[in-house]
Chains A and B, each alone.
Chain A
Amino acid sequence: MTALRRLFFFVVGLFLALPLIVVAGVSINARQTLAFPPQGFSLSWYGQIFTNPEWRNALVASLTLAASSALLALLIALPLAWFLWRRIAPWANIFQLLGVAPFTLPPVITALGLLTFWATTGFYGQAWTAVISHGIFFVTLPLVTLSLGFSAIDRSLVEAAATMGADDGKIFRTVVLPLILPYLVSGYAFAFVLSLNEYIVAYMTVGFTMETLPIKIFNALRYGYTPTMAAVTVLFLVIAAVVFGLVARFGDLPKLLGAMSDER
């Protein structure tokens, strides 16, 4: 059984890794050819991401968009999750539902909704519209992690603080915030990585005026192949693995992903 299980894990792992191994391989080709196993060795395609103005601009645009939209998502999710935890207001759950909706529906729907909205209001193509669009699209992630974080708070702690005379603001800063900080960080991390990789919403809102890295790769694919695409893919994969690795290192990843009752 153990051998069979190992074999099964190996086959699934191979399926998941194979395209990435080939991409990593073609990213170090010496010349601009799509060849595997790689012919020669060169890291110049990785250098291209930072030295070629087009790729660098796309990288900066992607990082700026991801950093600011994840922050916006957090700013929307935090007071909402806090309110839902602090107050008895069943009707307010409608906003929880609205926060989860964009992520549950096929992304093309949110993208098209935002496209018609920005076109109607006349802001279509402005860079900041992408920040708001992504902030709304990814609000689900911090909302889910924060709801989990709040539900894990022992209410008697807060009760004690209140008995000692602390008001809501003080309780939030001194008791609640330190307790939910890990969930705040992981919510931001999830939103950041997903925004970095998101294509359709960014494309439909600012695709004609601004290039993020996924948009840049898609546009470049139409004119043929360059190993820089492979280098960017590897870079993004590494960023995601590092971020989620850190979340796992400093937080409880199985618990974050829903293994809540698991106290073994």
Chain B
Amino acid sequence: MSKTFFIDTTRCTACRGCQVACKEWQGFEGNQTKQIGWGSHQNPPDLNPKNYKIVRFSEHKLKDRVAWNFFPDQCRHCVDPSCKYPADEYKKGLAILDDETGAVIYTDACRDMPKDIFQQMLDFCPYNIPRRDEKTGVINKCDMCVDRVKAGLVPMCVKTCITGAMNFGEREDMIDLAKKRLGIVKKEFPEAQLVDEEAVRAIYLLAYKPEMYFKTAAAKPGAFDVTRKEALAKMGQSFRNFFRV
């Protein structure tokens, strides 16, 4: 059966071990980032071809406390990945769903994909995940460390996580764990919730509403209630606002 991440943000200390470990494993170079004109610990500011994973920071002054929310953002490896629809329509086998792990993978062959197809893939993604290296054309995002997973190891971000915020395992086990943790966390944070747990293989537990983290922490309500057929029928129109908040 397939694998799933359970990402417990209530345990995350934003140490960014996952962000860095991912980069080191993938062998990515650094980005030129800055604080001038930016003024946030969230750096790089967004996912990019050299960061499959970034920790997002969001701070709020609440009535009786400060909430500083951390969100290790990455591909959700959707159970039925909509980013694959336009890719498949263009040419099958470029974007693949690995049946053994459930990993959604963009192959190197995606580099030759026309711009508009990439744009459709991006628009179809409820979480704004895929990125393209404009120089090489390579389209990439988290690949679930499928090389490690197939060798019986856990993804690098999970391996390095200190507090148990990042978890990985058989899907049923992760769903059980997620529900158990939700029950506990709800006692302190009544708004706590799991995000799109039925539709994704990276299930987030949040203490507050998704919009308290960042815009696309969760998919647009109803995004997963469309059928594949309906989605395909609308191909060519912008789906961005259809799936995404």
A-B interaction: no
> Residues of B with Cβ closer than 8 Å to A?
none
